[in-house]
Amino acid sequence: MAHRILSLAAAMVLAPLALTPIAPAQNVTQQDLLKPLGESWYSHSGDYTARRYSSLTAVNRLTVKNLTPAWTAKMTQGENPVALTGYSRVRPGSNTGGESPTGFNSSGGSIKATMLEVDGILYASMPDNVWAVDARSGETLWHYYWKARGGTHIASRGVGLWHDYLFFETPDNYLVSLDAKTGKERWHREIAKVEGGYFSTPAPMIVKDHVLAGTGNDIDAPAFLKSYDPETGDLQWTFYVTPQKEGDPGLDTWKSLDAARHGGGNIWMPGAYDPQTNLYITGTGNPTPSWQTGQRGDGDNLYTCSLVALDVDTGKLKWYFSTSPHDTHDYDSSQVPVLVDGIFNGRPRKMALTASRNGYFFVVDRITGEHLLTSKYGQTTNWAEGLTPHGGPKTNPEKDAAIGGTLISPNSGGTVNWQPPAYSPQTGLLYQYAADTFSMAYLTDPDPRGSMGLGGKDELSIGTNGSYLIGIDYKTGKARWRHKLYTQGFGGGGLLATAGGLVFSGDGAGNLAAFDAATGKALWGARIGNVSNPPQTYMLDGKQYILAAVGDTLYSFLLY
């Protein structure tokens, strides 16, 4: 059956406004955050497992062809923006905060955030901006603008919600808490110095009475995850990715203490939480300098490019698994891990899965960190030679940067980058993008201009063999299916799987698309533009909505 494509003109048609009154945000508790993803979307990945798997079934393989535009909403950025919707029944509240008298010109850009949906209200974000939006109509209810002192305005991955408090990170590294009903600021705390080169993009994760916040950038500086009290904003604990003093575990994997102290490894994406073990499992970034390794030595440079499991109450490291030991290509390991319970090699296991930027897929025991499986899902990945005794890919020195250039795959952008995966327990498949990219890696004199601190302008991207949406069987590590995407990069901003047997994603050709979760067959599409965030779903008034963003605009769909 040919899949149906809706035109952009059709997608811009607005459905009649719902007359249901707007309800205030509900009091989100830890019990709400522990629920599997269903009618509401409480946290960044939908629930703590990070599967992005919704139990909703109204939209399914048979009905998806009937999805119709419900509403669109353009998110207007900056101080005191005027609502563009002439039909609005409410005058949006406007709130301003920040540490700069003038703010930072952050207009433009795309919504890369995952929205939260609670009690009929969506919470959306872009750098410096947060909105509350009526989930039935797309009307803006309130807007908050942060006047930043600087920082790289590359993305905001989303917000966190605890009770009636909202939390988000700013590009100049502040954790800000808002009243979720009004958008008025409660407090803000500095996570890191913007003058030190840090910038922040993650969505804060709320676990029990902890607000977890990390930062980004490739700078020769310490990387960390911090925990804050959601009521007061007081700092509770700090986990440093690399050793910071003599005697710290992992120091023997660095050339010197000074190299370790400046070794990078920023935590710039949210993780997953296992309430049974009280472990927060998250990925760490690349070591620095990334390409030129003389300063950091020949060791594994722990705990960069790793999955780390932290006691959420103390920040203490319980286990780690290195996905790119001694990374020499800026591959990092920041992809969101997915927690799965299932059978592996004939016995029940509690696992963490990750399809890494380096082109390899990993399965580990999430209680102990024991390595269970490593497979290569990038079809052209060539930078490694075999595996280490611990199961990580072993760097091939012949694929390191050279004066004359070295052909590597994938390029530093990765087989996948930040885009969150999805997992369906119906199929046992992890869904992810796979871009078979190539670049030439050069050994050049360090020149930080335009290089984000990577140690020089030492990479030239030279193309791709193709980009795909794939379904990986976690038991074998092999792709059960591949759907070719019409792009040289990634199909969109992430994936959504549903109990209706569907996977939603951008297709790289300007469509929001639905695929059969079992086979990868395209079933439906709406030509709204290149999807910039992970698609989502929620249910209100017995109706299942599908939501996605293109640029600065939200698009919502319903069955009619």
Overall average pLDDT of the 170-190 stretch: 97
Residue 287 has pLDDT above 70, yes or no: yes
Q: Does 518 score more than 80 pLDDT?
A: yes
Amino acid 104: pLDDT: 72
pLDDT in tens, 193-213: 999 999 999 999 999 999 999
* Predicted pLDDT of residue 52: 99
Tell me: the pLDDT tens digits for 317-348?
999 999 999 999 999 999 999 999 999 999 99
* pLDDT for res 293: 83
Task: Look at residue 13 and tell me whether its pLDDT is greater than 70.
Answer: no
Q: Which residues contact 445 (CB under 8 A, 6 or more apart)?
A: 456
Q: Is the pLDDT of residue 85 over 60?
A: no
Confidence of residue 445 (pLDDT cuts 50, 70, 90): low
Q: Which two tokens stand for residue 483?
A: 């759907």
- For the record, the structure tokens of 142 come out as 């309130």
Of the chain, the percentage scoring pLDDT greater than 70 comes to 90
Query: How much is the average pLDDT of 37-46?
Result: 98
- Given a cut of 70, is residue 296 above it in pLDDT? yes
**Global pTM value:** 0.93
Residue 549 has pLDDT above 70, yes or no: yes
Q: Tell me what percent of the residues of the chain surpass a pLDDT of 90.
A: 79
pLDDT at 449: 53
Residue type, 521: K
Contact status, residue 172 vs residue 147, Cβ threshold 8 Å? no
Q: 158 and 115 in contact (C-beta within 8 Å)?
A: yes
- Three-state secondary structure call for residue 414: coil
Split at pLDDT 50, 70, 90, the class of 500 is very high
At residue 311 the predicted structure's pLDDT band, cuts being 50, 70 and 90, is very high
Q: Give dist(CA 313, CA 237) in Å, integer.
A: 8
- Look at 76-90, 113-127, 384-398, 412-426 and tell me which has the smallest mean pLDDT: 76-90
Beta-strand relationship, 272-274 and 279-283:
antiparallel
pLDDT of residue 107: 64
The rounded distance, in Å, linking the Cα atoms of 361 and 432 is: 10
Confidence of residue 276 (pLDDT cuts 50, 70, 90): very high
pLDDT value at residue 509: 92
**Nearest to 130, CA basis, from 108, 112, 145:** 145
Mean pLDDT of the 509-513 span: 96
Give the alpha-carbon dihedral of 376, 268, 116, 103, to 10 degrees.
-140
Query: How is domain 30-78+93-559 classified at the architecture level of CATH?
Result: 8 Propeller (2.140)
How big is the chain, counted in residues? 560
Please report the pLDDT score of residue 83 as a whole number. Answer: 52
Which token pair is 524? 């439906």
pLDDT value of position 451? 54
Average pLDDT on 128-134 reads 96
Per-residue pLDDT, 60: 99
In tens, the pLDDT along 212-239 reads: 999 988 888 899 999 999 999 999 999 9
| Predicted pLDDT at 132 | 96
Q: What are phi and psi of 350, to 5 degrees?
A: -105, 115
DSSP state of 295: T
Residue 501 · residue 426 · CB < 8 Å: yes
How far is residue 85 from each of residues 14, 94, 294, 320, 509, measured CA to CA in Å? 11, 16, 56, 49, 28
What mean pLDDT comes out for the span 466-470? 95
The structural domains of the chain, with segments of one domain joined by +, span 30-78+93-559
> Distance between CA 279 and CA 318 in Å, rounded?
8
pLDDT in tens, 343-392: 999 999 999 999 999 999 999 999 999 999 999 999 999 999 999 999 99
What is the SS3 string spanning 106-131?
Answer: CCCCCCCCECEEECCEEEEEECCEEE
Q: 376: burial class by Cβ within 10 Å (0-12, 13-18, 19+)? A: middle
d(CA 539, CA 435): 33
